[in-house]
Amino acid sequence: MRGFGIRALHVELSEGRLTSDDLIRDSLAAIEEADGQVRAFLRVTGERAFAQASPKEKVTGAPALSWLTGIPFAAKDNLCVEGVPTTCASRILEGYVPPHTATAVRRIESAGGVLIGKVNLDEFAMGSSTENSGFYPTRNPWDLTRVPGGSSGGSAAAVAAGFVPYALGSDTGGSIRQPAAFCGVVGLKPTYGLVSRFGLVAFASSLDQIGPLTRSVEDAAIVLQGIAGWDERDSTSVQVDIPDYLASLTGDVGGLRVGVPTEYFETDMDRGVRDRVMEALDALRQLGAEVRPIRLPHTRYALSAYYLIAPAEASSNLARYDGVRFGVRAKDAANLLTMYERTRSAGFGPEVKRRILIGTYALSSGYYDAYYKRAQQVRTLIRQDFEAAFAEVDVIVSPTTPTPAFRFGEKADPLTMYLNDIYTIPVNLAGLPAISVPCGLQDGLPVGLQLIGRPFDETTLLRAADAYERVSGFASLRPTALGEVQ
């Protein structure tokens, strides 16, 4: 049952062939067997899972059994769950036990979903490899010498390794889609405002969005259905009618207008990635879609804008870690200011400090206009680029990343690491929905295809991704590095 999708698991549960306890035991066994190698989990919550799982009779007898009832999942460790330690993979939050549960997690648990554990990330979701985790890096199940991507690397690796059918992640500049691409799974970043951020530890509040990592587009649609919707506890969540995402997966993309951004293909892109994406575009053409080039002229400024805006927001959001209300505190400081400085210097890792400093600089007197304000103006131009493009096309298709998964230590320079996010970042700046689906292998490593949609048009996005997935044959790809687990 480790390869099963949510639909198949749901059928097994509702017809009484399996119980939720079976699925929990199976998930825990898979973690026990192979997570010593992958290291996706920061904390396994097996006891809590058994305590929370619906008894068999409740699952099988329930009149309105939800798709997610009885099915295990993992949550990125920047999503708060009441009574379960939440670390954000940072030493500064050691010992923190939140008194509240993130709305996205609560909605899944209310539907009977079963949390199996909290998974690894780059500290405070700042990074593209999990190498910035304050605890340990997660390894890519396809090749244990390579990164799983990040920041939701634990979520992607846990799904790819078959530990859980799906996991929640968060995406600020590509943190769901990039690890999904690197680990050969599906990763969906919903439209900004579609999923409540309540209980998600804030990194850059105008960019952060929660979404699922799954083994298929169908599963992504099912999980999105479970977590989408307005929440009074997130003032940026939007009141929109939530469509039936599963019903949108018709397999029909006849006449769909697919835009291919010229500027993306002018960047430094791995040959194999380019080839796989071209093959995917051919597949979409054969399905009846109309593929045409589009222009996104301000793409080259997106990375600069992002790496000022996100750190600026982070520097403000992370001011709360001061050793007073939660987490660790430096000992024996003579006064309050020294206590703040020592706590933060000992508690934060190097990348978090860099971003706090860049953000503070960009917001500081004398530099605000040159950096932060200009970055926000560029953000407007990038948003307008997409608006103009979406007047002509229904979805935009690109690679998710310029290369497949890289090796540990390969991108030691921060700027080199940032360049990895070049195709995913503009999407967050514009608040758009986007999904990464596997589009084949290059030298034995998965390549991700990114599809970008109009705001709140997840139905078209999922329909196109699902139609492609059906003909691509890559949904069943499984990593080989773990042998017997698969």
Partner 1 sequence: MHLTTEDVVHVAALARLHVTSEETEALVVELGRILDYARDLQELDLSGVPATSQIGITTTVVRADEPRPSLTAEQAVANAPDEDEGMFRVPAVLEG
SS3 for 4-16 is: CCHHHHHHHHHCC
Specify the residue, 262 or 377, whose C-beta has the smaller distance to partner 1.
377
Taking CB under 8 A as the rule, does residue 337 contact partner 1?
yes
CA–CA gap between residue 308 and residue 26 (Å, rounded) = 44
Residues 83-102 that bind partner 1 (CB under 8 A): 95-97, 99
Residue type, 188: L
Taking CB under 8 A as the rule, does residue 305 contact partner 1?
yes
DSSP 8-state assignment for residue 81: B
Specify the residue, 286 or 365, whose C-beta has the smaller distance to partner 1.
365
Taking CB under 8 A as the rule, does residue 378 contact partner 1?
yes
Specify the residue, 250 or 364, whose C-beta has the smaller distance to partner 1.
364
Is the previous residue joined to 151 through a cis bond, with omega within 30 degrees of 0?
yes
Beta bridge partners of 168: 75, 212
Assess contact for 1 and 23: CB atoms under 8 A. Answer: yes
CA–CA gap between residue 409 and residue 396 (Å, rounded) = 32
Taking CB under 8 A as the rule, does residue 381 contact partner 1?
yes
To which H or E segment does residue 311 belong?
Answer: helix 299-317
CA–CA gap between residue 224 and residue 453 (Å, rounded) = 15
Stretch that binds partner 1, among 12-20, 262-270, 329-337, 446-454 (CB under 8 A): 329-337
Taking CB under 8 A as the rule, does residue 236 contact partner 1?
yes
Q: How far is CA 315 from the centre of its chain?
A: 22
In whole angstroms, the minimum distance from the beta carbon of 369 to partner 1 comes to: 10
Q: Which of 242, 278, 336, 388 binds partner 1 (CB under 8 A)?
A: 336
CA–CA gap between residue 153 and residue 174 (Å, rounded) = 11
Q: What distances in angstroms separate CA 405 from CA 160, 174, 408, 410, 420, one per listed residue?
A: 14, 14, 9, 10, 10
Selecting among 54, 76, 152, 216, the annotated active-site residue is 76
CA–CA gap between residue 225 and residue 219 (Å, rounded) = 10
Residue type, 102: A
Q: Collapsing DSSP states into helix, strand and coil, what is residue 386?
A: helix
Q: Collapsing DSSP states into helix, strand and coil, what is residue 185?
A: coil
The binding track of 338-367 with respect to partner 1, each residue x by CB under 8 A or -, is xxxxx-xx--x----xx-xxx-xx--x--x
Specify the residue, 335 or 476, whose C-beta has the smaller distance to partner 1.
335
Is there a catalytic annotation at residue 58?
Answer: no
Selecting among 175, 216, 398, 472, the annotated active-site residue is 175
The binding track of 192-221 with respect to partner 1, each residue x by CB under 8 A or -, is xx------------x---------------
Question: Taking the C-alpha atoms of 20, 66, 192 and 211 in order, what is their torsion angle to the nearest 10 degrees?
Answer: 20
CA–CA gap between residue 445 and residue 381 (Å, rounded) = 35
Specify the residue, 91 or 342, whose C-beta has the smaller distance to partner 1.
342
Q: Which of 166, 301, 406, 468 binds partner 1 (CB under 8 A)?
A: 301
Is there a catalytic annotation at residue 353?
Answer: no
Assess contact for 462 and 221: CB atoms under 8 A. Answer: yes
In whole angstroms, the minimum distance from the beta carbon of 414 to partner 1 comes to: 6
Beta bridge partners of 260: 293
Q: How far is CA 201 from the centre of its chain?
A: 14
Taking CB under 8 A as the rule, does residue 335 contact partner 1?
yes
Taking CB under 8 A as the rule, does residue 8 contact partner 1?
no
Strands 445-452 and 257-261: unpaired
Taking CB under 8 A as the rule, does residue 323 contact partner 1?
yes
Is there a catalytic annotation at residue 331?
Answer: no
CA–CA gap between residue 399 and residue 436 (Å, rounded) = 8
Q: Which of 415, 443, 476, 484 binds partner 1 (CB under 8 A)?
A: 415
In whole angstroms, the minimum distance from the beta carbon of 280 to partner 1 comes to: 28
Stretch that binds partner 1, among 121-129, 285-293, 373-381, 468-476 (CB under 8 A): 373-381
Assess contact for 4 and 69: CB atoms under 8 A. Answer: no
Taking CB under 8 A as the rule, does residue 2 contact partner 1?
no
Stretch that binds partner 1, among 195-203, 253-261, 288-296, 300-308 (CB under 8 A): 300-308
Taking CB under 8 A as the rule, does residue 238 contact partner 1?
yes
Q: Which of 265, 326, 368, 408 binds partner 1 (CB under 8 A)?
A: 326
Stretch that binds partner 1, among 55-63, 369-377, 433-441, 442-450 (CB under 8 A): 369-377
Catalytic residue positions, numbered = 76, 151, 175
Binding site for partner 1 (CB under 8 A): 95-97, 99, 192-193, 206, 232, 235-236, 238, 300-301, 303-305, 307-308, 315, 319, 322-329, 333-342, 344-345, 348, 353-354, 356-358, 360-361, 364, 367, 370-371, 373-381, 383, 413-415, 418, 429-431, 455
